[in-house]
Chain A
Amino acid sequence: MTGNEFISQLRKYLSGLPREEIEAAVGYFTEYFADAEDEAAAAASLGSPFEAAAQIIAGFGVQPAAVQPTAETVKTRGGAGRRVWLILLAAFASPLAVPVAAALVVCILAVFLVVIAALLSFWAAGAALLAAGVAGIALGIPGMFHSFAEGLFTLGCGLGFLGFGVIVCKLALLLSRKSSAGVVKGVGTATYWRRTKRRKDK
């Protein structure tokens, strides 16, 4: 294996780490091969790029929090999140995981779409009822001049629909608020992990 082959495979296995880390590793090994007299021998004694990448990822995962002169103990703040991230990283290293991950993303999107569809149908129903209510009132009042009873009935129906429509709209509003709060919470937790990881890298 040449140095370039080693490095390009290493780069592939390291994908998922922050760019800064990948470039640091690539830079190190580029120089390493440049300094070695026999590139092929150096690559051979380095072993497999996959294992080298695994060691780099593992070393990165248990890295203590960013430089703090007072901290002597290894901090595992967000340790559980970091471990989950590592597992995901290792999973992404395997060629099988990408379609699995894609399927996961599609499932999550599908859930979102279902929620949105449900909300939209509520709003549509509410709007339709309101429209019917307004129509009933608009037709009922002039209708009373032709046939009092019919006009009054239409007006009454219109008012009924209007009231019902208001109730459904209020329900739709309540559900919208609750589900958007849920979504914000979910997205917030996911990005919090990412943010704490990013902050630790700086």
Chain B
Amino acid sequence: MLFQISGTLLDACVLAELSRGDAYGYALTQNVKETLEVSESTMYPVMRRLQTEAYLDVYDAPFGGRNRRYYSITERGREKLLAYAADWEEFKLRVDKLICKDEKKERGADDDGQ
């Protein structure tokens, strides 16, 4: 992959993953890694930050004689995810316009120049 995922985009991906169900740190990291090329040590600061910004909640659940910390998305987090999703659509369109410009010109796109 020539492009890297970081910053707010990674935030959005983590929120999206958690919107599909609560997860604990290791599992969440492995799930995200299946799709994206992220460094595993990048995941913790992201989750810590999302937690302090109240987009995520944490709770402990017993597992095999110890406690396992689960992350869950909050209402505020879901709202933020919606905002991210909308922005991502816009972002996709804009990048497409630039990168795939010539391609579109050949196909004769009608929304030319803005």
Q: How many residues of B contact A (CB 8 A)?
A: 22
Contact A63 B49 (CB under 8 A): yes
Across the interface, do A35 and B49 meet the contact criterion of CB distance under 8 Å?
Answer: no
Task: Mark B39-56 against chain A: 1 for CB-CB distance below 8 A, else 0.
Answer: 111101111110011100
Interface residues of B in 1-49 (CB under 8 A from A): 24-27, 29, 39-42, 44-49
Q: Of the listed stretches A25-33, A89-97, A173-181, name the one at the interface; the rest are far from the partner chain.
A: A25-33
Chain B residues contacting A160 (CB-CB under 8 Å) are none
The residue on B at minimum CB distance from A201 is B52
A46→B41 contact, CB < 8 A = yes
Interface check B94, CB cutoff 8 A: no
Cα distance A52–B66 in the bound complex, in angstroms: 25
Most chain B CB neighbours (cut-off 10 Å) among A28, A29, A64: A28
| A residues in contact with B68, CB < 8 Å | 31, 35
Q: What is the total number of residues of chain A having a CB less than 8 Å from a CB of chain B?
A: 27
Q: Which residues of B does A touch, CB under 8 Å? A: 24-27, 29, 39-42, 44-49, 52-54, 66, 68-69, 76
11 contacts between A and B (CB under 8 A): A28-B25, A31-B25, A31-B68, A35-B26, A36-B26, A42-B26, A52-B41, A58-B45, A64-B53, A67-B52, A67-B54
Question: Other than the known A36-B26, A45-B40, what 8 A-B pairs have Cβ atoms closer than 8 Å?
Answer: A25-B44, A42-B40, A46-B41, A52-B44, A55-B41, A55-B45, A56-B48, A59-B45
Chain A interface residues (CB < 8 Å from chain B): 21, 24-25, 27-29, 31-32, 34-36, 42, 45-47, 51-52, 55-56, 58-60, 63-64, 66-67, 69
